[in-house]
Structure 1
Amino acid sequence: MKPRIAVLGCGYWGSNHIRTLKALGALHAVSDANRARAEGFASEQDCLAIDPEELFSRDDVDAIVMALPPQFHSETAIKAVEAGKDVLVEKPVALTVADAERAVAAAEANKRIFMVGHVLRFHPAFEKLKALIDSGELGEVKYVHAHRLGLGKFHTENDALWDLAPHDLSMILAITGSAPVEVRGEGAAILDHMSDFALVHMRFANGLRGHLFASRLNPYRERRLTVVGTRAMAVFDDVEPWERKLAVYRHAVWQDSGQWAFTANEPTYVQVEEGMPLTRELEHFLSCIRTRAAPRTDGEEAITVLRILTAGTVTHG
């Protein structure tokens, strides 16, 4: 039998979880502080509507997907795992490292699955990119940079860095295999005291460098992750159509008589099997519940992401 999942939080992203879990045959219940909203989804998806205060004591709920305002994630996750529920918590998992650490420790103490919604780790193009890196196709990775730009999604609790950067940081950590030893952030608040632009520089112990640029006040959308290796470069561009989402550039750079020379080659587009990242993420969550295997995006990774966010945050008066 598939695990019986409840979605707590029926807002924009919670509604995506609801519909995807329904398609996977694992949606058992929905829950929201707005009872009418929950009942609307329950009627639409033919599942139960359960009040949030009753959700944790229900024996017919095996796990909870949490898509709440981030300030409520850690306390709610602790309550859930202490009640014996596995959890998938949307990003950011908390607003402080200490809160994230308490939630992860509670899950470990209660032997519960604790997964974080870094959904782009399950994007087929990123999975293919990671396979290319692991196979040595790009050579030794020397630099990674991510640009996530667009207009909108303004939050009262989250600035551009905390709202937009967790996905890219998760991918960068998967590529580097370690946390950075140095983090430096720059930010600019245009609308109010919250940063609308954020630039984070990272240095890793093996000499690898990286940066991340996030903006919510940009006139065009950019969703690009670039990896520079000693043999080739690769770009995962999620704005492009599927047949062009993953490109490999085999440029050549060398020294000739003390001068640098290069040849710029046309990109090779890598075939990527189409698939919805959220569907693949939730399938992974269901598998982890059944097998008790550690999630690909576990609590320790979420804590590392929060440490980078915290170190890269610029406070504005």
Structure 2
Amino acid sequence: MQSSPPPNVVVIGCGYWGSNHARTLSELGVLYGVADRHDDRTRTLATRHDVKPLKLETVFDDPAIDAVVLALPPQYHADTAVAALEAGKHVLVEKPIALSVADARRVVEASAQNPHLVAMTGHVLRFHPAFEALEAMIARGELGAIRYIHSHRVGLGKFHAENDALWDIAPHDLSLILAITGEKPINVRGVGSAILNRLSDFAHLHLQFPGGIRSHVFTSRLNPYRERKLTVIGTKAMAVFDDVAPWNQKLAIYHHKLWEDESGWQSEMVDPEYVDIADGMPLTRECSHFIECIRTGAPSRTRVADGLAVIEILSEGSVRHD
């Protein structure tokens, strides 16, 4: 597979996460410019990284620009991603890629009509070294058959005007769960609780998969402590990916013993075994993967179709509120 020169990449959206993308792409040597509807944000970020401050309306017509990273308020993601693909630009669009299934499908359809372009979803935790190590262990059968997956992602803030705790936070964990299961759920139940205003600050999702795996996701942006845990229950072992833990404790494996005798099911707990994981920032690894896919034509690990699958779950799970 032939490799091409490094692409010129523009970050569209100069807020918090867009600034992180700009810094990372600058460090990787591919940041060409930045753009935002707020000119002052554009100029500030462009000056910081010594790149071009661009007008949004000029980005897609500039033949020097090969790719864009979209870190916008999510209600603008779908239209901008479609416009970028139709203009011949590779796209990395942050999660969620849209706020409706119909809009997410438009992004996937635009990608299908431009198969030579990389169209990637920003599911950054897929590139976390601890999750990559966990995926490899599951593939090798070290956890046995996977039976249950649950995630807890809770903390205080941030409060967004357009999307609730489910839409804002759950895409992280749903992307991981879908990667582990390799299939879409056949049943989704969701319950959200709105405490501060009309948008849910707490949300639960319960998922059932065709292969028999069950899962639940709990998200909150109104919680007194931070927790970022993904737990995988297998027939041979259990694993916990804890993104709040120190680096050398982010992936723990538990070989708890379970057996059945005449008294019923019994258990014996053991101490966790911590897995050595490679160094590396997930965002750097994600952006490097995006660049490599552009240069070589290799398929992305987080296609926009994966983003659509997450939106479908969120839409189905957002029906019930208490």
Query: Do the structures match in fold with TM over 0.5?
Result: yes
For residues 234-270 of structure 1, what are the alpha-carbon distances to aligned partners after superposition, in whole Å with 9 as ceiling and x for unaligned?
0000000001000000001111124211111110000
Partner of 2:288: 283
For residues 101-159 of structure 1, what are the alpha-carbon distances to aligned partners after superposition, in whole Å with 9 as ceiling and x for unaligned?
11111122122211010000000000001111110000000000010000011001110
Partner of 2:82: 78
1:24 and 2:28 aligned: yes
The amino acid of 2:24's aligned partner reads: T
Distance 2:320 2:274 in 1: 41
Partner of 1:58: 62
The amino acid of 1:8's aligned partner reads: I
Partner of 2:51: 47
Partner of 1:132: 137
Distance 2:183 2:155 in 1: 29
For residues 137-187 of structure 1, what are the alpha-carbon distances to aligned partners after superposition, in whole Å with 9 as ceiling and x for unaligned?
000000000100000110011100000000100000000010000000011
Distance 2:270 2:306 in 1: 36
Q: Check whether the contact 2:191–2:321 (CA below 8 A) recurs between aligned residues.
A: no
The amino acid of 1:184's aligned partner reads: R
Q: How many residues in Structure 1 have an aligned counterpart in Structure 2?
A: 317
Q: Check whether the contact 1:194–1:316 (CA below 8 A) recurs between aligned residues.
A: no
- Pick the aligned partner of 1:192 from 185, 193, 197: 197
Cα deviation for residue 314 of structure 1 reads: 3.8
Cα deviation for residue 50 of structure 1 reads: 0.8
Cα deviation for residue 315 of structure 1 reads: 5.4
Identity rate of aligned residues, in percent? 56
Instruction: Give the 3-state SS of the residue equivalent to 2:63 in structure 1.
Output: coil
Partner of 2:13: 9
Q: Check whether the contact 1:225–1:237 (CA below 8 A) recurs between aligned residues.
A: yes
Instruction: Give the 3-state SS of the residue equivalent to 1:150 in structure 2.
Output: strand
The amino acid of 1:208's aligned partner reads: I
The amino acid of 2:251's aligned partner reads: L
Distance 1:259 1:44 in 2: 64
1:243 and 2:256 aligned: no
- What are structure 1's unaligned runs of at least 5 residues? none
Instruction: Give the 3-state SS of the residue equivalent to 1:272 in structure 2.
Output: coil
Instruction: Give the 3-state SS of the residue equivalent to 2:32 in structure 1.
Output: strand
For residues 19-42 of structure 1, what are the alpha-carbon distances to aligned partners after superposition, in whole Å with 9 as ceiling and x for unaligned?
000000010010011112111111
1:204 and 2:220 aligned: no
- Pick the aligned partner of 2:313 from 303, 308, 312: 308
Q: Check whether the contact 1:165–1:212 (CA below 8 A) recurs between aligned residues.
A: yes
Matches within 5 A, 1:85-96: 85-96=89-100
Q: Check whether the contact 2:259–2:266 (CA below 8 A) recurs between aligned residues.
A: yes
Cα deviation for residue 5 of structure 1 reads: 0.2
- Pick the aligned partner of 1:104 from 102, 105, 108: 108
Cα deviation for residue 274 of structure 1 reads: 1.8
Distance 2:265 2:176 in 1: 32
Instruction: Give the 3-state SS of the residue equivalent to 2:141 in structure 1.
Output: coil
- Pick the aligned partner of 2:259 from 245, 254, 263: 254
Distance 1:184 1:175 in 2: 20
Distance 1:9 1:195 in 2: 25
Distance 2:209 2:46 in 1: 47
Instruction: Give the 3-state SS of the residue equivalent to 1:273 in structure 2.
Output: coil
For residues 245-299 of structure 1, what are the alpha-carbon distances to aligned partners after superposition, in whole Å with 9 as ceiling and x for unaligned?
0000000111112421111111000011121000000000001111122211101
- Pick the aligned partner of 1:122 from 99, 117, 127: 127
Deviating 4+ runs (over 3 angstroms): 314-317
Partner of 1:149: 154
Q: TM-score, normalised by structure 2?
A: 0.97
Distance 1:40 1:153 in 2: 23
Structure 1 residues 244, 133: closer, same or farther in 2, change over 3 A?
Answer: same
Deviates more, 1:33-42 or 1:189-198: 33-42
